[in-house]
Structure 1
Amino acid sequence: MKAMILAAGKGERMRPLTLHTPKPLVRAADTPLIEFHLRALAQAGFRELVINHAWLGQQIEDHLGDGARFGLSIRYSAEGEPLETGGGIFRALPLLGDEPFVVVNGDVWTDFDFNRLRQPLDGLAHLVLVDNPAHHPRGDFRLADGRVSDAVEGEPSLTYSGIAVLHPRLFAGCEPGAFKLAPLLRQAMAAGQVSGEHFRGRWVDVGTHERLAEVERLLLMEA
Protein backbone atom coordinates (compact mmCIF):
# COMPACT_ATOMS: atom_id res chain seq x y z
CA MET A 1 0.00 0.00 0.00
CA LYS A 2 1.32 3.43 -0.95
CA ALA A 3 0.87 6.65 1.01
CA MET A 4 0.68 10.32 0.11
CA ILE A 5 1.48 13.33 2.28
CA LEU A 6 -0.20 16.60 1.32
CA ALA A 7 2.44 19.32 1.61
CA ALA A 8 1.43 22.03 -0.85
CA GLY A 9 -0.14 24.59 1.50
CA LYS A 10 1.39 28.01 2.11
CA GLY A 11 0.72 28.08 5.84
CA GLU A 12 -0.24 31.75 5.84
CA ARG A 13 -1.44 31.70 9.46
CA MET A 14 2.02 30.48 10.48
CA ARG A 15 3.84 33.55 9.17
CA PRO A 16 6.57 34.72 9.58
CA LEU A 17 7.81 31.11 10.04
CA THR A 18 6.46 30.12 6.62
CA LEU A 19 7.71 33.12 4.66
CA HIS A 20 10.95 31.33 3.91
CA THR A 21 10.21 27.77 5.10
CA PRO A 22 7.48 25.49 3.74
CA LYS A 23 5.02 24.59 6.48
CA PRO A 24 5.90 20.84 6.53
CA LEU A 25 9.49 21.77 7.40
CA VAL A 26 8.50 24.02 10.32
CA ARG A 27 10.04 22.42 13.39
CA ALA A 28 8.45 21.18 16.59
CA ALA A 29 11.00 20.30 19.27
CA ASP A 30 13.70 20.69 16.59
CA THR A 31 12.08 18.14 14.22
CA PRO A 32 10.36 19.14 10.95
CA LEU A 33 6.65 18.33 11.18
CA ILE A 34 6.70 16.11 8.09
CA GLU A 35 9.36 13.86 9.58
CA PHE A 36 6.97 12.66 12.28
CA HIS A 37 4.76 11.28 9.50
CA LEU A 38 7.69 9.73 7.63
CA ARG A 39 8.87 7.84 10.68
CA ALA A 40 5.37 6.71 11.63
CA LEU A 41 4.61 5.50 8.11
CA ALA A 42 7.91 3.62 7.86
CA GLN A 43 7.32 2.02 11.25
CA ALA A 44 3.89 0.88 10.04
CA GLY A 45 5.45 -0.89 7.08
CA PHE A 46 4.89 1.62 4.31
CA ARG A 47 7.72 1.87 1.80
CA GLU A 48 6.45 3.92 -1.18
CA LEU A 49 5.47 7.51 -0.54
CA VAL A 50 4.31 10.41 -2.70
CA ILE A 51 4.57 14.02 -1.51
CA ASN A 52 2.96 16.92 -3.34
CA HIS A 53 4.29 20.43 -2.95
CA ALA A 54 3.94 23.97 -4.29
CA TRP A 55 5.08 26.79 -1.99
CA LEU A 56 8.87 26.52 -1.53
CA GLY A 57 8.54 22.89 -2.53
CA GLN A 58 12.12 22.46 -3.66
CA GLN A 59 13.18 22.86 -0.03
CA ILE A 60 11.10 19.78 0.82
CA GLU A 61 12.78 17.74 -1.92
CA ASP A 62 16.24 18.97 -0.89
CA HIS A 63 15.62 18.11 2.76
CA LEU A 64 14.01 14.69 2.35
CA GLY A 65 15.71 13.50 -0.82
CA ASP A 66 14.71 10.04 -2.00
CA GLY A 67 13.61 9.03 1.50
CA ALA A 68 16.21 6.29 1.92
CA ARG A 69 17.38 7.56 5.31
CA PHE A 70 13.81 7.07 6.58
CA GLY A 71 13.48 3.61 5.04
CA LEU A 72 11.17 4.99 2.35
CA SER A 73 11.13 5.58 -1.38
CA ILE A 74 9.77 9.09 -1.97
CA ARG A 75 8.44 10.48 -5.24
CA TYR A 76 7.28 14.06 -5.62
CA SER A 77 4.29 15.66 -7.35
CA ALA A 78 5.23 19.29 -7.96
CA GLU A 79 2.38 21.74 -8.48
CA GLY A 80 3.09 24.92 -10.38
CA GLU A 81 -0.03 26.45 -8.88
CA PRO A 82 -2.08 25.42 -5.81
CA LEU A 83 -4.54 22.68 -6.77
CA GLU A 84 -6.33 22.32 -3.41
CA THR A 85 -6.65 18.90 -1.79
CA GLY A 86 -8.71 17.15 -4.45
CA GLY A 87 -6.79 18.55 -7.40
CA GLY A 88 -3.45 17.78 -5.77
CA ILE A 89 -4.33 14.15 -5.14
CA PHE A 90 -5.80 13.78 -8.64
CA ARG A 91 -2.58 15.09 -10.18
CA ALA A 92 -0.56 12.53 -8.20
CA LEU A 93 -2.72 9.50 -9.10
CA PRO A 94 -0.30 8.26 -11.80
CA LEU A 95 2.31 7.93 -9.04
CA LEU A 96 -0.10 6.20 -6.67
CA GLY A 97 -1.36 3.41 -8.91
CA ASP A 98 -4.71 1.66 -9.11
CA GLU A 99 -5.06 0.43 -5.53
CA PRO A 100 -6.31 2.24 -2.39
CA PHE A 101 -3.73 4.49 -0.76
CA VAL A 102 -3.31 6.37 2.52
CA VAL A 103 -3.40 10.16 2.41
CA VAL A 104 -2.19 12.35 5.28
CA ASN A 105 -2.27 16.10 5.73
CA GLY A 106 1.29 17.28 6.20
CA ASP A 107 0.29 19.86 8.80
CA VAL A 108 -1.21 17.58 11.45
CA TRP A 109 0.69 15.98 14.31
CA THR A 110 -0.55 12.73 15.80
CA ASP A 111 0.40 9.44 17.43
CA PHE A 112 -2.03 7.54 15.20
CA ASP A 113 -0.83 4.04 14.24
CA PHE A 114 -0.92 3.97 10.43
CA ASN A 115 -0.69 0.17 10.49
CA ARG A 116 -4.41 0.19 11.30
CA LEU A 117 -5.09 1.37 7.74
CA ARG A 118 -3.30 -1.52 6.03
CA GLN A 119 -6.45 -3.55 5.42
CA PRO A 120 -8.99 -3.95 2.59
CA LEU A 121 -11.03 -0.83 1.85
CA ASP A 122 -14.80 -1.17 2.15
CA GLY A 123 -16.04 1.35 -0.41
CA LEU A 124 -14.34 4.39 -1.89
CA ALA A 125 -12.92 5.99 1.25
CA HIS A 126 -12.16 5.38 4.91
CA LEU A 127 -11.82 8.44 7.15
CA VAL A 128 -10.12 8.78 10.51
CA LEU A 129 -12.23 11.14 12.64
CA VAL A 130 -11.36 12.86 15.92
CA ASP A 131 -13.19 14.75 18.65
CA ASN A 132 -14.01 18.30 17.58
CA PRO A 133 -11.17 20.63 18.58
CA ALA A 134 -11.80 24.04 20.14
CA HIS A 135 -11.16 25.82 16.83
CA HIS A 136 -13.69 23.64 14.96
CA PRO A 137 -16.52 22.91 17.43
CA ARG A 138 -19.20 22.10 14.84
CA GLY A 139 -17.25 19.22 13.35
CA ASP A 140 -17.53 17.79 9.84
CA PHE A 141 -19.22 14.39 9.76
CA ARG A 142 -21.28 11.82 11.65
CA LEU A 143 -20.09 8.29 12.36
CA ALA A 144 -22.61 5.52 12.95
CA ASP A 145 -22.12 1.75 12.63
CA GLY A 146 -18.78 2.31 10.93
CA ARG A 147 -20.23 4.49 8.15
CA VAL A 148 -19.60 8.21 7.70
CA SER A 149 -22.25 10.74 6.66
CA ASP A 150 -22.51 14.52 6.52
CA ALA A 151 -22.97 16.36 9.80
CA VAL A 152 -26.51 17.37 10.77
CA GLU A 153 -27.27 20.41 12.90
CA GLY A 154 -27.99 19.44 16.49
CA GLU A 155 -26.59 15.91 16.25
CA PRO A 156 -23.20 14.68 17.50
CA SER A 157 -20.39 15.16 15.01
CA LEU A 158 -16.68 14.53 14.63
CA THR A 159 -13.85 16.28 12.78
CA TYR A 160 -11.93 14.84 9.85
CA SER A 161 -8.37 14.29 11.05
CA GLY A 162 -6.68 14.71 7.68
CA ILE A 163 -5.93 10.97 7.60
CA ALA A 164 -7.76 8.69 5.19
CA VAL A 165 -7.62 5.76 2.81
CA LEU A 166 -8.89 6.65 -0.66
CA HIS A 167 -9.60 4.54 -3.73
CA PRO A 168 -8.56 6.06 -7.07
CA ARG A 169 -12.13 5.43 -8.27
CA LEU A 170 -13.24 8.23 -5.95
CA PHE A 171 -11.82 10.60 -8.58
CA ALA A 172 -13.59 9.05 -11.57
CA GLY A 173 -14.72 11.77 -13.97
CA CYS A 174 -12.53 14.48 -12.43
CA GLU A 175 -10.56 16.87 -14.64
CA PRO A 176 -7.11 18.37 -14.00
CA GLY A 177 -7.12 21.62 -12.07
CA ALA A 178 -7.91 22.93 -8.62
CA PHE A 179 -10.83 21.36 -6.74
CA LYS A 180 -11.70 20.35 -3.20
CA LEU A 181 -11.83 16.81 -1.83
CA ALA A 182 -14.87 17.29 0.43
CA PRO A 183 -17.54 17.31 -2.33
CA LEU A 184 -16.22 13.99 -3.66
CA LEU A 185 -16.35 12.51 -0.17
CA ARG A 186 -19.88 13.75 0.42
CA GLN A 187 -21.03 12.30 -2.90
CA ALA A 188 -19.53 8.95 -1.90
CA MET A 189 -21.12 9.22 1.57
CA ALA A 190 -24.54 9.66 -0.01
CA ALA A 191 -23.95 6.37 -1.81
CA GLY A 192 -22.90 4.62 1.41
CA GLN A 193 -19.32 4.24 0.17
CA VAL A 194 -17.40 5.88 3.06
CA SER A 195 -16.39 4.03 6.22
CA GLY A 196 -14.73 5.58 9.23
CA GLU A 197 -13.24 5.22 12.67
CA HIS A 198 -13.04 7.42 15.76
CA PHE A 199 -9.45 8.03 16.86
CA ARG A 200 -9.15 9.12 20.49
CA GLY A 201 -5.38 9.52 20.69
CA ARG A 202 -3.27 12.63 20.39
CA TRP A 203 -3.88 14.83 17.37
CA VAL A 204 -3.19 18.51 16.64
CA ASP A 205 -4.02 20.48 13.50
CA VAL A 206 -0.89 22.64 13.42
CA GLY A 207 -2.46 25.67 11.76
CA THR A 208 -1.32 28.42 14.12
CA HIS A 209 1.63 29.35 16.31
CA GLU A 210 -0.44 28.43 19.37
CA ARG A 211 -1.07 24.89 18.10
CA LEU A 212 2.59 24.48 17.19
CA ALA A 213 3.38 25.36 20.81
CA GLU A 214 0.86 22.70 21.90
CA VAL A 215 2.72 20.06 19.87
CA GLU A 216 5.99 21.11 21.47
CA ARG A 217 4.40 20.83 24.92
CA LEU A 218 3.19 17.30 24.14
CA LEU A 219 6.61 16.30 22.85
CA LEU A 220 8.29 17.64 25.97
CA MET A 221 5.95 15.50 28.06
CA GLU A 222 7.24 12.45 26.14
CA ALA A 223 10.90 13.29 26.68
Structure 2
Amino acid sequence: MKAMILAAGKGERMRPLTLTTPKPLVRAGGVPLIEYHLRALAAAGFTEIVINHAWLGQQIEDYLGDGSRYGVSIQYSPEGEPLETGGGIFRALPLLGDEAFVVVNGDIWTDYDFNALRRPIAGLAHLVLADNPAHHPAGDFVLVDGQVRDGQPDAKTLTYSGIAVLHPTLFEGCTAGAFKLAPLFRKAMAAGQVSGEHLGGHWVDVGTYERLAEADTLIEASR
Protein backbone atom coordinates (compact mmCIF):
# COMPACT_ATOMS: atom_id res chain seq x y z
CA MET A 1 0.00 0.00 0.00
CA LYS A 2 1.31 3.45 -0.93
CA ALA A 3 0.82 6.64 1.05
CA MET A 4 0.51 10.29 0.05
CA ILE A 5 1.40 13.29 2.20
CA LEU A 6 -0.35 16.52 1.22
CA ALA A 7 2.19 19.32 1.40
CA ALA A 8 1.00 21.99 -1.05
CA GLY A 9 -0.63 24.46 1.31
CA LYS A 10 0.66 28.00 1.82
CA GLY A 11 0.03 28.27 5.55
CA GLU A 12 -1.13 31.87 5.29
CA ARG A 13 -2.30 32.03 8.92
CA MET A 14 1.26 31.31 10.05
CA ARG A 15 2.93 34.22 8.30
CA PRO A 16 5.61 35.55 8.48
CA LEU A 17 7.11 32.14 9.29
CA THR A 18 5.62 30.54 6.18
CA LEU A 19 6.77 33.32 3.88
CA THR A 20 10.17 31.62 3.79
CA THR A 21 9.39 28.10 5.06
CA PRO A 22 6.79 25.75 3.56
CA LYS A 23 4.26 24.82 6.23
CA PRO A 24 5.15 21.06 6.30
CA LEU A 25 8.74 22.03 7.20
CA VAL A 26 7.63 24.18 10.15
CA ARG A 27 9.16 22.58 13.24
CA ALA A 28 7.21 21.21 16.19
CA GLY A 29 9.32 19.91 19.03
CA GLY A 30 12.37 20.77 16.94
CA VAL A 31 11.37 18.49 14.04
CA PRO A 32 9.59 19.41 10.77
CA LEU A 33 5.94 18.35 10.83
CA ILE A 34 6.28 16.25 7.69
CA GLU A 35 9.17 14.30 9.19
CA TYR A 36 6.91 12.91 11.93
CA HIS A 37 4.66 11.48 9.20
CA LEU A 38 7.53 9.91 7.29
CA ARG A 39 8.87 8.26 10.43
CA ALA A 40 5.42 7.01 11.47
CA LEU A 41 4.60 5.70 8.00
CA ALA A 42 7.95 3.92 7.76
CA ALA A 43 7.43 2.38 11.21
CA ALA A 44 4.04 1.10 10.02
CA GLY A 45 5.61 -0.61 7.00
CA PHE A 46 4.89 1.94 4.27
CA THR A 47 7.82 2.21 1.89
CA GLU A 48 6.45 4.11 -1.13
CA ILE A 49 5.45 7.69 -0.42
CA VAL A 50 4.11 10.39 -2.76
CA ILE A 51 4.34 14.04 -1.70
CA ASN A 52 2.69 16.90 -3.54
CA HIS A 53 3.93 20.45 -3.14
CA ALA A 54 3.48 23.96 -4.52
CA TRP A 55 4.50 26.88 -2.29
CA LEU A 56 8.30 26.71 -1.72
CA GLY A 57 8.09 23.08 -2.76
CA GLN A 58 11.72 22.79 -3.76
CA GLN A 59 12.66 23.25 -0.11
CA ILE A 60 10.65 20.12 0.71
CA GLU A 61 12.44 18.12 -1.98
CA ASP A 62 15.84 19.44 -0.89
CA TYR A 63 15.19 18.56 2.76
CA LEU A 64 13.63 15.11 2.31
CA GLY A 65 15.50 13.97 -0.79
CA ASP A 66 14.62 10.51 -2.04
CA GLY A 67 13.48 9.39 1.41
CA SER A 68 16.24 6.82 1.87
CA ARG A 69 17.32 8.20 5.25
CA TYR A 70 13.82 7.47 6.52
CA GLY A 71 13.72 4.00 5.00
CA VAL A 72 11.19 4.96 2.33
CA SER A 73 11.14 5.91 -1.36
CA ILE A 74 9.65 9.34 -2.10
CA GLN A 75 8.14 10.50 -5.40
CA TYR A 76 7.07 14.11 -5.78
CA SER A 77 4.02 15.59 -7.49
CA PRO A 78 4.80 19.30 -8.01
CA GLU A 79 1.95 21.69 -8.67
CA GLY A 80 2.51 24.97 -10.51
CA GLU A 81 -0.48 26.38 -8.64
CA PRO A 82 -2.23 24.85 -5.61
CA LEU A 83 -4.92 22.43 -6.75
CA GLU A 84 -6.71 22.12 -3.39
CA THR A 85 -6.89 18.73 -1.75
CA GLY A 86 -9.00 16.92 -4.33
CA GLY A 87 -7.17 18.31 -7.35
CA GLY A 88 -3.78 17.60 -5.81
CA ILE A 89 -4.58 13.96 -5.14
CA PHE A 90 -6.15 13.56 -8.58
CA ARG A 91 -2.99 14.88 -10.23
CA ALA A 92 -0.89 12.38 -8.27
CA LEU A 93 -3.04 9.32 -9.06
CA PRO A 94 -0.64 8.03 -11.78
CA LEU A 95 2.03 7.77 -9.05
CA LEU A 96 -0.34 6.06 -6.61
CA GLY A 97 -1.52 3.17 -8.78
CA ASP A 98 -4.83 1.33 -8.95
CA GLU A 99 -5.17 0.20 -5.33
CA ALA A 100 -6.36 2.02 -2.22
CA PHE A 101 -3.77 4.33 -0.64
CA VAL A 102 -3.32 6.26 2.59
CA VAL A 103 -3.45 10.05 2.51
CA VAL A 104 -2.38 12.36 5.34
CA ASN A 105 -2.32 16.13 5.61
CA GLY A 106 1.25 17.35 5.97
CA ASP A 107 0.32 20.11 8.41
CA ILE A 108 -1.07 18.02 11.26
CA TRP A 109 0.68 16.41 14.19
CA THR A 110 -0.58 13.14 15.63
CA ASP A 111 0.56 10.02 17.44
CA TYR A 112 -1.89 7.92 15.41
CA ASP A 113 -0.61 4.45 14.44
CA PHE A 114 -0.77 4.25 10.64
CA ASN A 115 -0.42 0.47 10.83
CA ALA A 116 -4.17 0.41 11.59
CA LEU A 117 -4.83 1.48 7.98
CA ARG A 118 -2.94 -1.35 6.32
CA ARG A 119 -6.04 -3.36 5.48
CA PRO A 120 -8.52 -3.46 2.60
CA ILE A 121 -11.49 -1.10 2.57
CA ALA A 122 -14.94 -2.18 1.46
CA GLY A 123 -16.02 1.12 -0.06
CA LEU A 124 -14.41 4.16 -1.66
CA ALA A 125 -12.95 5.79 1.46
CA HIS A 126 -12.14 5.18 5.11
CA LEU A 127 -11.82 8.31 7.24
CA VAL A 128 -10.09 8.80 10.57
CA LEU A 129 -12.19 11.23 12.64
CA ALA A 130 -11.03 13.18 15.68
CA ASP A 131 -12.84 14.89 18.55
CA ASN A 132 -13.86 18.40 17.53
CA PRO A 133 -11.12 20.90 18.38
CA ALA A 134 -11.91 24.30 19.89
CA HIS A 135 -11.43 26.04 16.55
CA HIS A 136 -13.90 23.70 14.78
CA PRO A 137 -16.64 22.93 17.33
CA ALA A 138 -19.32 22.05 14.76
CA GLY A 139 -17.30 19.15 13.40
CA ASP A 140 -17.69 17.62 9.94
CA PHE A 141 -19.30 14.19 9.89
CA VAL A 142 -21.12 11.60 11.99
CA LEU A 143 -19.77 8.12 12.70
CA VAL A 144 -22.48 5.47 13.11
CA ASP A 145 -21.65 1.76 13.38
CA GLY A 146 -18.41 2.21 11.47
CA GLN A 147 -20.01 4.23 8.67
CA VAL A 148 -19.40 7.93 8.09
CA ARG A 149 -22.39 10.09 7.25
CA ASP A 150 -22.97 13.75 6.61
CA GLY A 151 -24.01 15.84 9.61
CA GLN A 152 -27.45 15.13 11.06
CA PRO A 153 -29.48 17.29 13.47
CA ASP A 154 -28.74 16.50 17.13
CA ALA A 155 -26.12 13.90 16.15
CA LYS A 156 -22.64 13.95 17.71
CA THR A 157 -20.22 15.10 15.06
CA LEU A 158 -16.50 14.49 14.70
CA THR A 159 -13.83 16.31 12.70
CA TYR A 160 -12.04 14.84 9.70
CA SER A 161 -8.44 14.49 10.87
CA GLY A 162 -6.82 14.70 7.44
CA ILE A 163 -5.99 10.98 7.60
CA ALA A 164 -7.79 8.56 5.30
CA VAL A 165 -7.59 5.59 2.99
CA LEU A 166 -8.91 6.41 -0.47
CA HIS A 167 -9.62 4.25 -3.47
CA PRO A 168 -8.80 5.79 -6.87
CA THR A 169 -12.37 5.07 -7.98
CA LEU A 170 -13.46 7.88 -5.62
CA PHE A 171 -12.13 10.28 -8.28
CA GLU A 172 -13.99 8.71 -11.20
CA GLY A 173 -15.34 11.42 -13.49
CA CYS A 174 -13.07 14.14 -12.09
CA THR A 175 -11.02 16.35 -14.39
CA ALA A 176 -7.69 18.09 -13.90
CA GLY A 177 -7.72 21.35 -11.99
CA ALA A 178 -8.40 22.65 -8.51
CA PHE A 179 -11.25 21.05 -6.56
CA LYS A 180 -12.10 20.14 -2.99
CA LEU A 181 -12.20 16.65 -1.53
CA ALA A 182 -15.25 17.06 0.75
CA PRO A 183 -17.87 16.94 -2.05
CA LEU A 184 -16.44 13.59 -3.20
CA PHE A 185 -16.68 12.31 0.35
CA ARG A 186 -20.31 13.43 0.66
CA LYS A 187 -21.29 11.83 -2.63
CA ALA A 188 -19.68 8.54 -1.53
CA MET A 189 -21.33 8.80 1.91
CA ALA A 190 -24.75 9.13 0.30
CA ALA A 191 -24.04 5.82 -1.45
CA GLY A 192 -22.91 4.16 1.80
CA GLN A 193 -19.34 3.87 0.55
CA VAL A 194 -17.43 5.59 3.39
CA SER A 195 -16.32 3.80 6.54
CA GLY A 196 -14.55 5.42 9.45
CA GLU A 197 -12.95 5.20 12.86
CA HIS A 198 -12.51 7.47 15.87
CA LEU A 199 -8.95 8.63 16.55
CA GLY A 200 -8.31 8.04 20.21
CA GLY A 201 -4.84 9.56 20.57
CA HIS A 202 -3.42 13.04 20.18
CA TRP A 203 -4.10 15.13 17.09
CA VAL A 204 -3.44 18.81 16.32
CA ASP A 205 -4.30 20.68 13.15
CA VAL A 206 -1.29 22.99 13.14
CA GLY A 207 -2.86 25.98 11.40
CA THR A 208 -1.85 28.80 13.74
CA TYR A 209 0.99 29.73 16.09
CA GLU A 210 -1.23 28.80 19.04
CA ARG A 211 -1.82 25.30 17.72
CA LEU A 212 1.87 24.93 16.91
CA ALA A 213 2.54 25.68 20.58
CA GLU A 214 -0.04 23.01 21.51
CA ALA A 215 1.79 20.45 19.39
CA ASP A 216 5.11 21.49 20.97
CA THR A 217 3.66 20.87 24.43
CA LEU A 218 2.30 17.43 23.53
CA ILE A 219 5.56 16.39 21.88
CA GLU A 220 7.65 17.48 24.85
CA ALA A 221 5.33 15.65 27.22
CA SER A 222 5.72 12.42 25.21
CA ARG A 223 9.54 12.45 25.37
Q: Partner of 1:135 in structure 2?
A: 135
SS of residue matched to 1:19? helix
> What is the identity, as a one-letter code, of the residue corresponding to 2:15?
R
TM-score of the superposed pair, with normalisation by structure 1: 0.99
| Cα distance, 1:109 vs structure 2 | 0.3
Distance 1:41 1:221 in 2: 22
Q: Partner of 1:166 in structure 2?
A: 166
Q: Partner of 2:108 in structure 1?
A: 108
Distance 1:92 1:187 in 2: 21
SS of residue matched to 2:213? helix
Q: Partner of 2:194 in structure 1?
A: 194
CA RMSD of aligned residues (A): 0.6
Q: Partner of 1:99 in structure 2?
A: 99
Does 2:31 correspond to 1:31? Answer: yes
Q: Partner of 2:59 in structure 1?
A: 59
Identity %: 77
> What is the identity, as a one-letter code, of the residue corresponding to 1:196?
G
| Cα distance, 1:219 vs structure 2 | 1.3
SS of residue matched to 2:19? coil
TM-score of the superposed pair, with normalisation by structure 2: 0.99
| Cα distance, 1:152 vs structure 2 | 1.7
| Cα distance, 1:154 vs structure 2 | 2.4
Corresponding pairs, count: 223
SS of residue matched to 1:126? strand
Q: Partner of 2:88 in structure 1?
A: 88
Does 2:214 correspond to 1:217? Answer: no
Structure 2: any 5+ residue segments left out of the alignment? none
Instruction: Kindly provide the CA deviation profile for residues 68-119 of structure 1, in whole angstroms up to 9, marking residues without a partner as x.
Output: 0000000000000110000000000000000000000000100000000000
> What is the identity, as a one-letter code, of the residue corresponding to 2:182?
A
Does 2:127 correspond to 1:147? Answer: no
Structure 1: any 5+ residue segments left out of the alignment? none
Instruction: Kindly provide the CA deviation profile for residues 39-86 of structure 1, in whole angstroms up to 9, marking residues without a partner as x.
Output: 000000000000000000000000000000000000000000110000
- After alignment, is 213-222 or 63-72 more displaced? 213-222
Does 2:121 correspond to 1:121? Answer: yes
> What is the identity, as a one-letter code, of the residue corresponding to 2:86?
G
Distance 1:109 1:151 in 2: 25
Q: Point out 4+ residue stretches in structure 1 off by more than 3 angstroms.
A: none
Q: Partner of 1:203 in structure 2?
A: 203
